[in-house]
Structure 1
């Protein structure tokens, strides 16, 4: 079973690399505004999780750089996710606004949020 997961994970990452979307083109000022807004976001993810890949692809489409934390390999990130979000489930987008953290699970909800905020 572990071998199957490893092979599928590598296939997912290869597919993501080969078919990576291009990002939107913005003016320098608009891109700087998007970058500033993205500083308040953190994505807790597993590298080869297909739902996490879906979210990362949307980040690429929106030309934003979000801090990524691998909750599988990084025990500190895993603990942050468990304490802050209440469960270890990925993808999870941590949104910090006015000193308050909101934890958003479900890839479709995260993609919709990114489209709404950055498109």
Structure 2
């Protein structure tokens, strides 16, 4: 299952959620702290602290909403 590291108010995260819904993909939302200094998990995964970040079931990690949407379209569309 895809894990989406995000927070609800983020418009870039909303873009990714829309694409996941459009492709009818199951995913787990993982809320990250709004305080950037506390985003240790996504820093470990992607090397940066910005959201959104996805972790696919095969271990692929993608950050940046445009790259995530492109990845989802290529793999699941």
Give TM class, smaller chain. Answer: 0.7 to 0.9
Match of 2:73 in 1: 115
Correspondent of 1:48 among 3, 9, 16: 9
**After the TM superposition, which segments of 4 or more aligned residues of structure 1 sit over 6 Å from their partners?**
none
Task: Say which SS state the counterpart of residue 9 (structure 2) adopts.
Answer: coil
Q: Larger % of helix: which?
A: 1
Match of 1:95 in 2: 56
Output aligned runs, 1:26-105, within 5 Å: 39=1, 41-72=2-33, 78-97=39-58, 101-105=59-63
Q: Distance in 2 between matches of 1:96 and 1:57?
A: 19
Q: Could you list the runs of 5+ residues in structure 1 that have no partner in the other structure?
A: 1-38
Superposition CA RMSD, Å: 1.8
Q: Distance in 1 between matches of 2:71 and 2:10?
A: 19
TM-score (norm 2): 0.81
What is the count of residue pairs matched by the alignment? 74
Q: Could you list the runs of 5+ residues in structure 2 that have no partner in the other structure?
A: none
Task: Say which SS state the counterpart of residue 72 (structure 1) adopts.
Answer: coil
Higher relative contact order structure (alpha carbons within 8 Å, sequence separation ≥ 6):
2
* Bigger Rg over Cα: 1
